[in-house]
Structure 1
Amino acid sequence: MRFPRVGESPRSWWAQWRHRIAYYIPVLAWLPNYGDGGLSTLVGDMVAGISVACLMVPQSLSYAGLAGLSPMQGMWTAFAPAFVYSLLGTSRQLSVGPGALVAILVNAAITQAYISQGMLHPDSPTLAELAAILAILVGLFNLLLGLCRLGFLDSVLSRAMLHGFIYGVGFVICIGQLVPLLGLTKFTQGSLAGNASALETSVWLSKNIHHTHVLTAVVGFSCIAFLLAARIIKKQVARRRPRTTWPQLIPEILIVVVGAIIISTVLRLEQRGLAVLGEVPNAGQLPKIRWPPVQRLQWSQFRALATSAALIAVLGFVESVAVTKQYAAKRHYTVSANRDLVAFGLANLCGGLFGAFPAFGSIARTKINDKAGARTQLAGMITALCSLAAALLLLPYLWSLPRAALAGVVFTAALGLIIEAPRQLRFIIRLHAWRDLALIASVFLATVLVSVEAGTLFVVAASIILVIRHTT
C-alpha cells in the first residue's frame, strides 16, 4: 500500500485509492451515484429484474435436471453467482445464471467423475458435491485468468470450431431430452449409460420408442409447440413494431410451467402415469454455506474435474464476453474482459460454497434484461433476490410440475443453440470457406458421435495448434 509522499495532500491520496478500489469493485462506483439516474432508472431496473426472474426460475429448474442435479441446486445457481456478479461485474445488462450449454458440460463432467471412482468408494463425494467442487474449480480458473490479464482469450478460440461445438451440444441435448419427453426414463435403467453419446442414445431410442407414454409425449410436445409459437410471434412483432417492447417481456416459460402445474393438478395426471417433479429435498430452506469435500476426491476424479473446469471456464467466459461487448456498444459504455474474468471467478467460488453449479451469462435473458429497461447492475441483483425468494417460498408448491414440461423447456433452449446453423453454413459455403466448414463438421461429429468431453478437448487442442501455427 502506498502512503502519501512528502507534500502530497492526504485527501488527494485517498481520492486516488478510492478511485482505484471502485475500479476493481464496480458496485462502489455505480451505487453511490445511483440517484443521479432518477426514478426512471430505478423503475427500469426493477421491471427488468423481475421480468428476468420470471424466466430464470423455471429455467433453473430445467437446467438443474439437465445437469443431473436437484432443483434446489438450480435455484442456488440462479441466486449466488448472479448476486456476486452484480457487485463485481462491469456489464450492466448481462444476466448471470444457469445455462443449457454449461449444464450439459457439468452433467458430463460429474457423471464421468462419479462413474470412474465414486461408485467404487462409498466415501467419495456425491453428484451434488461434485458439482459444487466443479464450480469452485471453475471459479479458481476464471480468477487466475483474470489476475493474469488473459481477457483476450475470446479472440484466441476459433469461431468456426466454437460454432461447431455449440451446434453439437444443442443436438446432444435435443436427443437426450427425447427420453423424458417420450416417457422412457424408467426404461433406461441398466440399458442406457448416463454418459452415453448422442449416437448411442439415438440407437436406444429407436429400439424402445414403442414404449412411449402417450400422455407424457402430448404434454411435453405441447409445451414445446407453445414455446416455439411464442418465440415466432415475438420475432414477428419485433420486426414489424420495433418500438413495441412489452411483448418481448411476456414470460412464456413461466406461463408454460404454471399452466402445466394447473392442468396436472386439476386433471390428476400423475394418477395416469405422468411423471411429476414430486417433493423437492430441502425446499424452502436456506442453503448451508460450506466448503465442498474436496479432500474426499480420488486423484483421478480431481484430474477429470480440473480438466472439465478449465474448459467450462474458458467456454463460459467466451460466450459471456461476446454478449457483454454487444450490449456495452449498444448502450455506449465500456466493459473490461479482465475484470469480468475476476467477477466470474468470485461468482462461481461463492456459488460453490452455496452448492451451486457453474454459472455464466445468458444471451436470451440478457436480451430480455435490456429490453425491460435494465440500466445498472441493480437489475441483476433484483433477479438474484427474486430467485432466492422463489426458492424459499414457491418451490415447495411445485410438487405437481410435470417433468415433461421441464424437458420441453430444455429442448426448446437446445433448439435455440442450433437454429442459426443453416444460415451460418450457407454463409460459409457462399464464401467458399472450406477450412471453417471442415472445422465445424469435425467438432460437431466429435461431440455427437463420441462425447461432449471429446468435443471440448478438440476445440481447445485445435485452437492452440492454430494459434501456434499463426504465430510461427
Structure 2
Amino acid sequence: MPVAGPWLRRLLPFVAWMPELRDGRILRTDFVAGLTVALVLIPQSMAYAQLAGLPPYYGLYAAFLPPLVAALFGSSRQLATGPVAVVSLMTAAALEPIAAAGGPGYIAYAITLSLIVGVFQFALGLLRLGVLVNFLSHPVVVGFTNAAAIIIATSQLDKIFGVRVEKAAHHYETVWATVVAAASYIHWPTFVMAVAAFTIMIVLRRVNRRLPNVLIAVGVTTVLAWATGFEKVQQAALDQFPASAVQEVVADQLRLRDEIPQFDARLAEARARLAETVARHGWNDARALAAQHAIDTLKLQRDRRVKTAAADLKELRAVRFRYVPGAEGAPGRYYLLANLPEGAHDDGNIWRIRTIGEDGSLEMNGGGNVVGAIPRGVPSLALPKFDLSVVLQLLSAAITISLIGFMEAISIAKAMATKTRQKVDANQELIGQGLSNVVGSLFQSYPTSGSFSRSAVNMDAGAVTGFSSVVTSLIVVVTLLWLTPLLYHLPQATLAAVIMMAVVGLINVRAIRHAWQAQRQDGVVAVVTFALTLAFAPHLDKGILVGVGLALILYLYRTMQPRVAILARHPDGTLRDAEVFGLKTCENISMIRFDGSLYFANTSYFEDKVQERVAVRPNLRYVIVVGDGINQIDATGEEMLAHLADRLEKAGIRMVFTGLKKQVIDAFQRTGLYRRLGPDRFFRTEEQALDQAWKELGGNHEADCPLNVVCPIELTPGARAS
C-alpha cells in the first residue's frame, strides 16, 4: 500500500526494520550486539540508580522496558536507551530537597518524575517542537557536562572511602566533609575493593577494549566480597548499647511507628467530620472552618513528628561504634567510637546501625556496603502517584532533564547516523524517548535517556536494527527473574568505581578551549556555565538557566551591532570595505552593506550609521543599501527603513536597495513599502544600481566616480575578503 506505508512507518517506526530480521546474518549480529550491551548495562544501571539516590535494583527496572520502547518508537536504530550518569545526577538533585534519598517517598517522586519527563518529551515530539533543544547552545552543554562529570565523580567519594557524611547545602561542602572524614575514618577494605575494581577496568580496557571490563570487575569483586565476608552483618539488642542517647532515639523511632497510624486514623476521622459539616452547613459556616483547622493542625503535627524522627534517625546512622565481644558467649557491647573503655579489646571493626527491626532489634554493619537483597521478578504495573503539588515542585527539574537528556540522546543518534547513513528524525526521537519514560514510569523506572557509552558498544558490536535493544531488555528480564541472588554481595564501592570510570569521558576541556577560540563570547558562556554549575550544585538547573540566559544576551549583544561596511571599488574590480582596504569613496554615492538580519535590536544602529554617512558627505545624492546579508527583517526594521527613506528623500537623497533576499522583498510587498517606494528602488546587483545612479546624476560623473575605477589584477591565494 503505497499511501499507508509511509504513514504506518511514522506511527510505528519499527515496521521499517523488522523485515530486515529475515536475514539470518543481521538477526545473529543484532542478538550478539544486544547481549554485549546488556553485559555493560546491568552493572551500569545499578551504579546509576545509586547515583540517583535510589536502591541499586531500581537501575535494573529502568533498564527493563525503556530500551525496548525507545528502540521501537524512536528513529535511531543503534541508540541504546537506559539509565545515564547526567540524568541520574539531575534526578538526585531534583528529589533530595523534598525527600530522604532511598525512602518510599523519594522512590515515588522519582517514578513520578519519569512520567512528567516522558509526557513533556512526547508532547514536544507530537507538536514537532524538537527545535526547542536548540536553545541549549553547544557552549552551555559543554560547560554543564564538564561540571556535571566532576560533580558525579566527587559524589562517589564517600562510597570509595567507606565513610558516611551528611549532605551539605552545597556540593563542594559535602566533598570537603567527605575528605575530612576519610582522613580519620577511612574503611580500608572498602577502599581496597574500589581500587581493585579500578585496576581491573583500566587494565582490561588497555588490553582489549572489546572485553566486558565492567562486568568482569563486578564479577571479581562480588566473588571477593562473598569469599572474605566483606559485608559483616550481625543482629544486636538495644540493651547492648550503653549510650542512653542511642536507646532514646531507637525507642523514639519505635514509638513513631505506632503514632503514624494513630495520626492517620485521627486525620481520617477529622476529614469525615469536615465532610459531614460542609454537607449540613456549607463551607462558610464557622464549624466547617473549625473542622478544617483541626485537620491542618493534625497534618502539621504529623509532619513535624516525622521530620524530627527522620533527622534523628539520619544522625543515628552516622554514628560509629566499637564492638567488644562478651566473655564466654555472652552478648557483646557496642560503644560509641570515642567512648571505648580503657583496657577493652574490640574486634577491630567500626560498626554502624543499618536498620531498626519491628521488635527493636538492630541490624549492625561492620564491613563494607553491598547491594544486598534484590526483589526477584520484573516490576509490577502500577500508576505513579500523581499529586499536583508534587508535580508543580518537579516541573522545572523535569523540563531541564527532558531537554538535557534529549540533547544527549539526539547528539549520539546523529553521530551514529553519519556513519550508518541513516536518517534521524529529532521529533520522532522525542516521541520514542518520551514513550520510553512514560512506559518506564508504569513499571517503577526513574528518568532515562540515550547513553553515549552503550550506544558506542552497540555500534561497535555491529547492531543493524533496533532489535539489539529488544535483546538487551530481554537479558535484563532474565537477570531480574533468575540472577538477582548473584548480585547480593556486589560492593557499592565497585558501583562507585563504575560511575567514576564512566564519567571520565565526559570531561572535555578541549571543547571549552575550542569554543573560546571560535568565539570569545561562547567561551565565556561555557566557562560561566561550568563555574556556576559547580557552585550551585546540587541545584544544577540554576547553572543551566544562567548559561542559557547569558548565551541569549550575548547573542543579542553581537547582533545589536553587526558589521556595517562602506563599499568602494578595489583595484581588482570588486566592491570591498573601504575602511579595511583604505579605498577612496564617492562624494555623491554611498554604498552601505549591512551584514546581519534587521530587527528591533539593531535598527537604531543601522539608522545611525546611515545618518553618520549623510553628515560627513554634504554632496551625497544616493544611498545604495547592499542587502545581501539581510536574511530577515521584522516590523521594527521595516518601519525604520520606510521613515529613513522618506527623510532622506526630503533631504534630496535617494535610497535604493540591491541584492535583497526573497523573504525581505515579500515582507516589503505585504506591508506596501515595495509599492510605495516603487520598483525602480530595488535592483538585483550593485552594478545595476550604480548604472541607474550615474544616469540620474547625469554629465560625466560616471567617469569621475571612484566607484567606476576598474584596474583588474590577478588575485593571489589567500587574498583578504571584503
TM-score > 0.5 by shorter chain: yes
Query: Given that residues 58 and 257 in structure 1 are in contact (C-alpha distance below 8 angstroms), is that contact kept between their aligned partners in structure 2?
Result: yes
AA partner of residue 457 (structure 1): L
Distance 1:341 1:63 in 2: 22
Distance 1:104 1:379 in 2: 27
Q: Once superposed, which parts of structure 1, at least 4 consecutive aligned residues long, lie more than 4 Å away? A: 463-472
- How far the C-alpha of 1:152 sits from its partner, in A, is 2.5
Letter in 1 for 2:378: L
CA distance in 2, matches of 1:432, 1:88: 37
2:143 aligned partner: 164
Which residue pairs with 1:427 in the alignment? Answer: 514
Aligned-pair distance for 1:464?
5.1
Flag the 1:208–1:333 CA change in 2: closer, same or farther, 3 A.
same
| 2:126 matches 1:147 | yes
TM-score where L is the length of structure 2: 0.56
Letter in 2 for 1:259: V
Q: How does 1:335-354 map to 2 (within 5 A)?
A: 335-354=424-443
Q: Could you list the per-position Cα deviations for residues 337-370 of structure 1 after superposition, in whole angstroms to 9, with x for gaps in the alignment?
A: 0111011111100011111011111111111101
Contact 2:80–2:455, Cα closer than 8 Å, also in 1: yes
The offset of 1:18, in angstroms, is 3.8
CA distance in 1, matches of 2:196, 2:519: 39
Question: Given that residues 24 and 339 in structure 1 are in contact (C-alpha distance below 8 angstroms), is that contact kept between their aligned partners in structure 2?
Answer: no
- Aligned pairs for 1:328-407 within 5 A: 328-407=417-496
User: SS in structure 2 opposite 1:316?
Assistant: helix
Q: Does 1:56 align with 2:41?
A: yes
Larger radius of gyration: 2
What is the match of residue 29 of structure 2? 44
**Aligned with 1:394: secondary structure?**
helix
Shift of the alpha carbon at 1:437? 2.5
- Which consecutive unaligned segments of at least 5 residues does structure 1 have? 1-11, 235-246
Q: Secondary structure at the match of 2:231?
A: helix
Q: Structure 2 counterpart of 1:289, which letter? A: L
Matched position secondary structure for 2:392: helix
Following superposition of structure 1 onto structure 2, how do residues 320-335 of structure 1 map, counting pairs within 5 Å? 320-335=409-424
**C-alpha spacing 1:370/1:278, structure 2 compared with 1 (3 Å):** closer
How many Å separate the matches in 2 of 1:460 and 1:387? 38
Q: Deviation of residue 218 (structure 1)?
A: 1.5
Q: 1:27-74 CA distances to partner (integer Å, 9 max, x unpaired)?
A: 122213432xx2211111011000000000000110010001122321
Residue 255 of structure 1 is matched in structure 2 by 216
The partner residue of 2:10 within 23, 26, 40 is 23
CA distance in 1, matches of 2:13, 2:35: 22
Specify the SS of the correspondent of 2:117: helix
The answer to whether the Cα contact below 8 Å between 1:153 and 1:318 also exists between their aligned partners in 2 is: no
Answering whether residue 167 of structure 2 is matched by residue 192 of structure 1, we say yes
Cα drift, residue 280 of structure 1: 2.8
Aligned equivalent of 1:134, options 105, 113, 123:
113
Task: Give the SS at the match of 1:79.
Answer: coil
Number of the residue aligned with 2:178: 205
**Preserved CA contact (<8 Å) 2:20 2:26:** no
Q: Does 1:178 align with 2:139?
A: no
- Structure with the bigger percentage of strand: 2
* CA–CA separation in structure 1 for the residues paired with 2:135 and 2:455: 24
Q: Name the counterpart of 2:294.
A: none
- The separation in 1 between residues aligned to 2:88 and 2:43, in whole angstroms, is 14
CA-to-partner distance for each residue in 1:304-338, whole Å, 9 max, x for gaps? 31111100110111111111111111011111001
Which residue in 2 is equivalent to 1:77?
62
Give 1:222 deviation, angstroms.
Answer: 2.6
- 1:449 is aligned to 535
Letter in 1 for 2:162: G
Residue of structure 2 in register with 1:289 after alignment:
381
The alpha carbon displacement at 1:249 in A equals: 2.8
1:280 corresponds in structure 2 to: 373
- Number of the residue aligned with 1:242: none
Distance 1:294 1:428 in 2: 42
Change over 3 Å in CA distance of 1:150–1:432 after alignment to 2? closer
Query: What's the counterpart of residue 197 of structure 2?
Result: 223
Contact 1:154 1:321 in 2 (8 A): no
Q: CA deviation at 1:384?
A: 1.1
Whichever residue aligns with residue 535 of structure 2, its letter is L
Change (3 A) 1:383 1:432: closer
1:57–1:75 CA contact under 8 A, matched in 2: yes
Task: Please tell me the residue identity of whatever aligns with 2:369.
Answer: V
Q: Deviations over 1:425-446 (max 9, x none)?
A: 44345x2743222222211121
SS in 1 for 2:450: strand
For the pair 1:267 / 2:228, whether they are aligned, the reply is yes
Q: Greater RCO between the two (CA within 8 Å, min separation 6)? A: 1
Instruction: Give, in angstroms, the shift of residue 463 of structure 1.
Output: 4.8
Aligned to 1:239: none
Q: Secondary structure at the match of 2:63?
A: helix
Deviation, structure 1 residue 96? 0.4
> Whole-Å Cα distance in 1 between the matches of residues 371 and 56 of structure 2?
11
Q: Summarize the Cα distance change of 1:304–1:466 in structure 2 as closer, same or farther, 3 Å threshold.
A: farther
Whether the 8 Å CA contact 1:160–1:437 is kept in 2: the answer is yes
Alpha-carbon separation, structure 1, partners of 2:473 and 2:556? 41
Q: Distance in 2 between matches of 1:332 and 1:192?
A: 47
Residue 460 of structure 1: CA displacement?
Answer: 4.0
Flag the 1:205–1:279 CA change in 2: closer, same or farther, 3 A: closer
Relative distance call for 1:361 and 1:392 in structure 2 (3 A) is: same
Q: Which residue does 1:413 correspond to in 2?
A: 502
Distance (Å, rounded) in 1 between the aligned partners of 2:139 and 2:74: 28
The answer to whether the Cα contact below 8 Å between 2:56 and 2:371 also exists between their aligned partners in 1 is no
Moved more, 128-137 or 405-414: 405-414
Q: Which deviations, in whole Å up to 9, do the C-alpha atoms of 1:156-185 show, x marking residues without a partner?
A: 321111111011111111111111100112
Alignment correspondent of 2:262? none
Cα distance in structure 1, aligned partners of 2:57 and 2:229: 25
- 440-449 or 376-385: which moved more? 440-449
Q: What is the CA RMSD across the aligned residues, in angstroms?
A: 2.3
Rounded Cα–Cα distance in structure 1 between residues aligned with 2:521 and 2:462? 41
Determine the C-alpha separation between the residues in 1 that align with 2:149 and 2:125.
29
- Structure 2 residue runs without a partner (length 5+): 233-348, 350-365, 560-598, 602-722
- One-letter amino acid matched to 2:178: L
Determine the structure 1 residue equivalent to 2:93: 108
Q: Residue type of the partner of 2:50?
A: G
Shift of 1:410: 1.0
- Output the TM-score relative to the length of structure 1: 0.85
Equivalent-residue separation in structure 2 for 1:125 and 1:284 (angstroms) = 19
Could you tell me how far apart the structure 1 residues matched to 2:404 and 2:553 are? Answer: 17
For the residue of structure 2 that corresponds to 1:401, the secondary structure is coil
Change (3 A) 1:432 1:358: closer
